[in-house]
Amino acid sequence: MKPALADRLTARAVHTCGSGHGEAAMRPAERDVTFVLYQIKVSATEDVGGDEPYMWILGFKVDADTLGPPPPGTIVPSLGVQVFEGAPASPFLLGTGDTDAPATIPIPPNLGTRGFRLKPALLPAAGWFEGIAGIICLLWDQDGFAPSTSEAGYKKFKSAFGPALTTELNNLASGTYDDPLSRDASGNVLPMPPDAPNLTWRLTRLRDDAGRKNAVKAITKAVKDNIVSQIEDAITNAAGYDELIDPDDLLGAEAAVFMGEELAQTQDYTLEFTEDEANYRLRPRVVKPRSPRQAANHGNHGRPRADQVRAGKAPCLLVPGKDVLDLRLPPADQDTLRTCHVKWRFAE
The residue ranges that bind Ca ion (CB under 5 A) are 46-47, 52, 141, 143, 249
C-beta of 141: minimal distance to Ca ion in Å? 4
Q: Please, what is the minimum distance in Å from the beta carbon of residue 250 to Ca ion?
A: 10
CB of 336 to Ca ion, least distance (A): 23
Please say which residue, 7 or 47, places its beta carbon nearer to Ca ion.
47
Q: Are the C-beta atoms of 121 and 238 separated by less than 8 Å? A: no
Choose between 3 and 144: whose C-beta lies nearer to Ca ion. Answer: 144
Between 141 and 254, name the residue whose CB sits nearer to Ca ion.
141
Nearer to Ca ion, 52 or 243 (CB): 52
Q: Which is nearer to Ca ion, 143 or 208 (CB)?
A: 143
Give least dist CB 334 to Ca ion, A: 17
- Cβ closest to Ca ion, residue 45 vs residue 176: 45
| Cβ at position 93, least distance to Ca ion in Å | 12
What is d(CA 70, CA 343) in angstroms, rounded to the nearest whole number?
A: 54
Residue 52 C-beta: closest distance to Ca ion, Å: 5
Could you tell me if 215 and 259 are in contact, meaning their C-beta atoms sit under 8 angstroms apart? Answer: no
Task: Please say whether the beta carbons of 256 and 271 come within 8 A.
Answer: yes
Q: Which residues contact 69 (CB under 8 A, 6 or more apart)?
A: 77, 78
Query: Minimum distance between the CB of residue 51 and Ca ion, rounded to whole angstroms?
Result: 5
When the beta carbons of 47 and 65 are compared against Ca ion, the nearer one is 47
